[in-house]
Amino acid sequence: MTDVSQLFRALAAAPTWTATQPQTLADVTITPTGGALGAVVTGLDAGRPLSGELVLALKRALQDHLILIFKGQQLEDEAFLRFASYFGGIFRPPAEVPVLASQATTGLPPDVVPVSNAVGQGDYTGHGELTAHVDHQWTPQPSSGSLLYAIEIPQSGGQTSWYNTVQAYEDLDEATRREIDQLQLITYNPFLRPFDGSPRPLYRYADQPRIGQGFPHPLVRTHPESGRRSLFLSDKTEVEVLGYSDTRGAELVARLRAHLARPEYRYEHDWEVGDIVYWDNQTTLHSRRAFDPAERRLLKRVSLAGGRPF
């Protein structure tokens, strides 16, 4: 079964949807985390159909809070895909642009990506720290968001943090905002370099070769629905500011990265089995703490299609 047919099958194979009354906004409570971003959604069963008013309320809540945390879920992959499809289509990069879990046969990732250190269940991300990043930023149309579902969690470590890149942009001084508002940034594909622990460049200088295609995107992007502006810059990726000298570009990127890492922009999530976190990939960064490699950690991710950043 191909990935496309997997999604179609997930949408079609839902006999309980026609027999079950859709959940409404009255069934659900949305409570802000009190941190830099995020809201917790309780009372929702992601395996049941949702009413139109509830879907719209969740989309508005995502615009307001940037991440939504759905508690206490129990889903098979097809039900997880059905739930995610309320918020958009499945992300599909060009086959020649690798991303996490790209398959050798098709060049594409599966619809549901296992994010795990377990042998035979993906093992794409290991157990080490993952620095703050935007998923698929190096593709021509990065994903608009992702939903990550916790199946197995280690006893300690493995927390995920999200960073509010809207607030980080708004807190910049006026001169910096004027400088960066029209700049274009290339983020180079990290999957074209070996993951062997060797140092990775943080900036592409003019005397260094380009590895793979480079797709320019705004350094400050505009959200296609809310109109909010945000910094579109990951922490440890190889980047290049178009039109700037090496020194000027590298210094600007280092300064903005230090600003984004400030603790007031960060919310850290302690996972519980059954959590689904849905984040806006256009207005956040996310990172992961390391955890004991002797423990299993298994989550599943569905990423949603996005448009060309502007």
- Tokens in use for 254? 């280092």
Span 36-52, pLDDT tens digits:
999 999 999 999 999 99
Determine the Cα–Cα distance for residues 106 and 118; give it in Å rounded to an integer: 23
pLDDT at 111 over 70: yes
- Phi first, then psi, for residue 65 (nearest 5°) are -110, -15
- Phi first, then psi, for residue 287 (nearest 5°) are -140, 170
Q: What is the mean pLDDT of residues 167-187?
A: 98
Three-state DSSP at 64 gives: helix
Mean pLDDT check: name the lowest of 2-11, 117-126, 300-309.
Answer: 2-11
Determine the Cα–Cα distance for residues 250 and 298; give it in Å rounded to an integer: 36
List C-alpha distances in Å: 105 to 101, 110, 189, 191: 12, 11, 20, 17
Model pLDDT, residue 22: 97
pLDDT at 183 over 80: yes
Model pLDDT, residue 195: 86
DSSP 46: T
Helical packing angle, 77-84 and 3-12, nearest 10° = 80
Model pLDDT, residue 119: 73
pLDDT at 2 over 60: no
- Tokens in use for 48? 């049941």
What's the chain's average pLDDT?
Answer: 94
Higher pLDDT, 190 or 2: 190
List C-alpha distances in Å: 18 to 13, 49, 269: 11, 9, 35
pLDDT at 7 over 70: no
Span 68-85, pLDDT tens digits:
999 999 999 999 999 999
Q: Which amino acid is at 196?
A: D
Model pLDDT, residue 9: 59
- Tokens in use for 228? 């909010």
Q: Exposure pattern of 248-278 as b/e (b: 16+ CB <10 Å)?
A: ebbebbeebbebbbeeebbbebebeebbbbb
Model pLDDT, residue 197: 82
What is this structure's pTM? 0.93
Model pLDDT, residue 267: 98
Model pLDDT, residue 16: 44
By the 8 A CB rule, do 128 and 285 touch?
no
